[in-house]
Amino acid sequence: MDEQEIKLVLDDEDFPELRSEVRKLCEKYPSKYWLDLEDQTPDTSYPTEFVQELTDAGYLAALIPPEYGGSGLSLRAGSVILETVCEMGCQGSACHAQMYTMGTVLRHGSDDQKQSYLPKIATGELRLQAFGVTEPTTGSDTTQLRTRAERDGNGYIINGQKVWTSRAGHSDLMLLLARTTPKEQCEKRTDGVSVFLIDMRDAKNNGMEIKPIDAMINHNTTEVFFDNVNIPGDALIGEEGKGFRYILDGMNAERCLVSAESIGNARFLLNKAVKYANERVVFNRPIGKNQGIQFPISDAYIKLQTADLMVRKATAMFEAGLRCGAEANCAKYLSSEALWACAETCFTTHGGFAFAKEYDVERKWRDARLSRNAPISPNMIMNFIGQHVLGLPRSY
C-alpha cells in the first residue's frame, strides 16, 4: 500500500463523494418506508423501489469488473456503499447479495458463464439475490449438507431442501450448494460438494417450491424445496466436487462487506442514542448527563471505532491479496458486538419509547440481533480463531 492508500484506511470518511451520493439516494427512503414494508405480505414486503434505484445508480454492480458492465470498484468502496445504506437507516441485507454473490461466478465461472450472466447482473436485468447453503438438519455443519445433485444425461436432478434462503422470492438466479458425490466416497468432508447457478424462473415450474418464513425481521427469507428439479449441465460453476472451496474463497470478502453493514447500522443507532440523550429531559436534566446513560453510549462508541479499524484492516489486506481469514473473522465478530452494544444502549436510552415503532429504534434493534447469529455466529468465529489462528485443538 502506498501512503495515500494507508491514509484512506485510517480516514473516517474515505470515499466522501461516494458516501454523499449514496446518502442522497437513501434520504428518499425514510423510516416510514421500511416500517410500512413490515406490514405487507411476503410478496409485497420487499423494498423493490429502493433496490431498483441502487441498481440503476450502478451501486450493486460496484464489484463487477468494467469488461462485464460493472464499475470495478474496490472491496472497500463496496463496503462504503453498504455501510452508508445502513447508516442512513436503510436495509443493506435487501440488496447485498446482488453485490457479492456474483463473486463465485466471477472467480470460478467459465468465460461463457461470465459473458452471459455478469453483464445482466450488473444492469439488474437478472437478479442474483438468493444464496442456498443452509439446510434445516445440518445448520452450521455445512459439509454435511444433504441436498443432492445427481447427474442425468447432460444435466443434473436436484432433490433436497434449503432453509433461510433470503430473497428467494425476489431473485431470478440462485447460487446453490449441493452434494454431487456421496460423502462416504469422499476423502475429505469438504469434497464432493458442487456449486450451481440455477435459473429460478425455470426451476419454479419444474419442482422447486419457495415458502416464506414468518420471521422477526423483514429479510424476505424462505425455505426452498427441490423435488426432482432438472437443471442443465452448464449450471455447474467450475469443477464438480470443488464447490465448498469456491464458496470459502469468497467468504473473506463477504465477511468484510457484512461487517461494514454492521458498522453502518451501529452508527445509525449510536447517532439516535446521542441525539435522544441530549434532548430528553427528565428530573430537570438531559438524561445524557447521567453517567448510567452516558457511559454505555461512550462504551458503544469505543467498541464501534475499534471494530471499524479491524474492518478496514481486513478489507485492505483482502485488496492487497494477503491472507486475511483471521482479520476478516475478527472484523465480523467485533462489528457484530459493537453493533449490539450500540443497539442495546440506544434501546435503553429511549426508555419506553424504544418500543414505539415511530421512534424507529426497535426495527434496527431487531436487525442488530441478527448479526450475532448470521451469516456466522460468534461461536463459529471463535472456533475458527481457536483452531486455525491459535493452533488449539478442534473443539467439535
Ligand X SMILES: Cc1cc2nc3c(=O)[nH]c(=O)nc-3n(C[C@H](O)[C@H](O)[C@H](O)COP(=O)(O)OP(=O)(O)OC[C@H]3O[C@@H](n4cnc5c(N)ncnc54)[C@H](O)[C@@H]3O)c2cc1C
Per CB under 6 A, residues contacting ligand X are: 131-134, 139-140, 164-166, 215, 217, 219, 221, 370, 373-375, 377, 379-380, 383, 396
Q: How far is the CB of 211 from ligand X (least distance, A)?
A: 14
Q: Which amino acid does the sequence have at 145? A: L
- Give the angle 251-253-258 at the CA atoms, nearest 5°: 90
Q: How far is the CB of 281 from ligand X (least distance, A)?
A: 38
* C-alpha closest to that of 54 among 160, 127, 118, 112: 127
Residue by residue, DSSP assigns 124-135 as: TSS---EEE---
Q: Which is nearer to ligand X, 199 or 234 (CB)?
A: 199
Q: Which residues pair with 176 in a beta bridge?
A: 132, 196
Q: How far is the CB of 377 from ligand X (least distance, A)?
A: 3
Minimal CB distance residue for ligand X = 139
Q: How far is the CB of 171 from ligand X (least distance, A)?
A: 10
* SS3 state of residue 176: strand
| Active-site position among 87, 254, 261, 319 | 254
What is the rounded CA–CA span in Å between residue 133 and residue 161? Answer: 10
Pairing mode of beta strands 193-199, 208-212: unpaired
Q: Which is nearer to ligand X, 69 or 378 (CB)?
A: 378
| Cα atoms found within 13 Å of the Cα of residue 335, Cβ hemisphere only | 32
Q: Which is nearer to ligand X, 137 or 290 (CB)?
A: 137
* SS3 state of residue 223: strand
Specify whether 254 is catalytic.
yes
What is the rounded CA–CA span in Å between residue 356 and residue 363? Answer: 10
**Where does residue 244 rank: exposed (0-12), middle (13-18), buried (19+ CB within 10 A)?**
buried
Q: How far is the CB of 55 from ligand X (least distance, A)?
A: 19
Q: Tell me if 264 sits within 8 A of 86, measured CB to CB.
A: yes
Task: Compute φ and ψ for 101, nearest 5 degrees.
Answer: -65, -25
Q: Which is nearer to ligand X, 70 or 132 (CB)?
A: 132
Q: Which own/partner contact pairs does 62-68 have at CB distance under 8 Å and 24+ positions apart?
A: 62/99, 63/99, 63/100, 63/102, 63/103, 64/102, 64/106, 64/118, 64/121, 64/122, 65/106, 68/106, 68/114, 68/115, 68/118, 68/119, 68/122
Rounded to 10°, the helix 75-87/16-27 angle is: 40
**Residue written as grid cell 405480505:** 41
Q: How far is the CB of 288 from ligand X (least distance, A)?
A: 33
Q: How far is the CB of 247 from ligand X (least distance, A)?
A: 10
Q: Which is nearer to ligand X, 35 or 380 (CB)?
A: 380
Within its chain, how far is the Cα of 175 from the centroid? 14
Q: Which is nearer to ligand X, 5 or 223 (CB)?
A: 223
What is the rounded CA–CA span in Å between residue 37 and residue 92? Answer: 15
- Give the angle 249-150-203 at the CA atoms, nearest 5°: 80
Q: How far is the CB of 389 from ligand X (least distance, A)?
A: 16
| Active-site residue list | 254
